[in-house]
Structure formats: C-alpha cells, structure tokens
Amino acid sequence: MNTLRPISYAVLFLLIVPVVVLLYEGFGPMRTPAGYSYGVFRSIGLTLLACVAAVLLIIALYTPLAYYFARNTKIESKIMQTLGDIPASVPHPIIGIALLLFASPITPLGKFLLSIGFDLFDTLLGLVVALVIVSAPIYIKAMQPYFESMSRSHENYALGLGASKFRTFVSVVLPKSGRGIFSASLIAMSRSLSEYGSLVIIAYLILKPTQFYGLSPIQVVIVNFYVAGNIAAAVTCAAVTIVVSLSIMIPLRFIQRQTPRI
C-alpha cells in the first residue's frame, strides 16, 4: 500500500481546514454587512492594485539579479544573495520602520527625497515599495532555479559571437523565460497579498493619491475589525478577501499550467 498518498492528503487537510471553517463562518453564521461593505471592496481593490504594481516592478528590477545569481557562484555573489535575503528573514515591522526612517525628514537623505516628492509614509507609493521589498527575495529565489535549469548552449553561442552578457540576457534568455517569470510572479503576488507587518507602519492609512484617501490595505482593515472587537466583521471580511484572492490566483495558476514550455 502506498502510504504517501493518505499522509499527503492528511497534512494538506491540516492546512486548509482552518480556511474552510473561516469561509463557512464568514458566509454563514457570522456573516455581517460590515464585512462586505463598499469600503471593504475599495480596500481590496487598493491592495490588489498595489500588489500588481509591486510584482511588475519586481519583474523589471529583479529578474536580471536572479539571472546574475544563477550564473555566478563566486563568493561575492553568495554574499550578495545573503544580503538580498535580509528583507525576508527579519520581522517585517522592521522593514516598515526602516522605510519610515529612510524617507523621513530626520535624515538628510529623507529631506532630499521629500523635497522631490518621494513620500512613502501613508501613500500608495510607500505601500508598493514595502510590497516590493518583502516580496522580491521570494521572487529571486523562485527564478534562480529556473535560470539554473536552462540550457546554456544558446547563451554560449551568443557570447561566442561577441554579444555582451546583458545583450545575451535580453535577447536570448528573457524570451525563453516567460513561464518561469509567470510562475515566480504568482509566488511574489501571493506573498504580497499576505503581507501585514510592514504595511501597518508605512501604509496604515493611505492619504496620497487623493482617489485612495482614507483607505487602508485590506490586511489592516481585517485586523482593525478584530482589535475593535467586531469579530464577525473581521471573519466576514477575511472570507470575502479569500474568495476574491482565489478568484484571481486560481485562473492564473490554470493559465500557467496550460502555457507550453519554450
């Protein structure tokens, strides 16, 4: 008898049963209109917008870095990888405090950034930057094995013809990396949707731009309901957020599985 299958189903059950209970309570006995109000859906929209923007920035900024790590085994690269893991390995309120200090008038750099309009505190920009910092290490770790598994024959051919490493990356590697980028992006997106620690400090309440004035990320909204003692609203809001997230992530996962390998 193959015992691995029942064991796998059992441990998977342990992961999903709390979520199933929450969905049942949120849409059943504990359902309350406060948990699916217009403001809640606006906060969900704000969070999804910030997550998408963060993932697009991560793809643009950190795909080359993941490739560099995958193709370099020198001690310098190992040190850089260790440094790049810091945002993922420290309590995330630390990231929020670091960003708060980074763009505050306390420091000369912060004064300069504020003078050119680079304000992170309680802004959509700060929300996106925080999500980029906490999710980028996850994206890099997902992309590295993909690049490492790719055949280097086409790269070596391009390099042999005199192409630079950057041109080889752009013209040879990237066109073959769509599936890996898509998969790593979904992981980064999931990580962004689950972030709370840094957001509660740097983007607790969005004040800029004005179209999002007064909104909080949905993670903060759920905790605020709970802290205020409105457990039913917290449960309902959490259930709604799960459904919205799954309605986006599941189709994307399906698209990923249907995408042919290049």
| pLDDT tens, residue by residue, 100-121 | 998 888 888 888 988 888 899 9
Q: What is the largest CA-CA distance in the chain?
A: 69
**What sign for the dihedral angle of Cα 232, 234, 237, 243?**
negative
Q: What share of the chain in percent tops pLDDT 90? A: 56
Tokens representing 116 are 């050119």
Q: 145 pLDDT exceeds 70? A: yes
| pLDDT tens, residue by residue, 50-75 | 999 999 999 999 999 999 998 887 77
Instruction: Please name the amino acid found at residue 213.
Output: Y
Q: What length does the chain have?
A: 262
Q: Which residues of 201-219 are buried (b: 16+ CB within 10 A; e: fewer)?
A: bbbbebbeeeebeebbbbb
Q: 43 pLDDT exceeds 60? A: yes
Report all structural domains of the chain as residue ranges with CATH numbers, in order of start.
47-216 (1.10.3720.10)
Query: What is residue 259's predicted lDDT score, i.e. its pLDDT?
Result: 54
Say how many C-beta atoms besides its own lie within 10 A of residue 140's C-beta: 24
Query: What is residue 144's predicted lDDT score, i.e. its pLDDT?
Result: 92
Report the mean per-residue pLDDT for the chain.
Answer: 90
Q: Where are the beta strands (DSSP E) in the chain?
A: none
| pLDDT tens, residue by residue, 182-236 | 989 999 999 999 999 999 999 999 998 999 999 999 999 999 999 999 999 999 9
Contact assessment for residue 185 and residue 55, using Cβ atoms and an 8 Å cutoff? yes
| Distance in angstroms (rounded) separating the CA atoms of residues 67 and 59 | 12
- The pTM assigned to this predicted structure is 0.89
- pLDDT band at residue 262, thresholds of 50, 70 and 90? very low
Taking the alpha carbons at both ends of the chain, their separation in whole angstroms is: 38
Q: Classify 119 as helix, strand or coil.
A: coil
Averaged pLDDT, 116-138: 93
Residue at token pair 């309120």 = 93
Radius of gyration of the chain (CA): 21
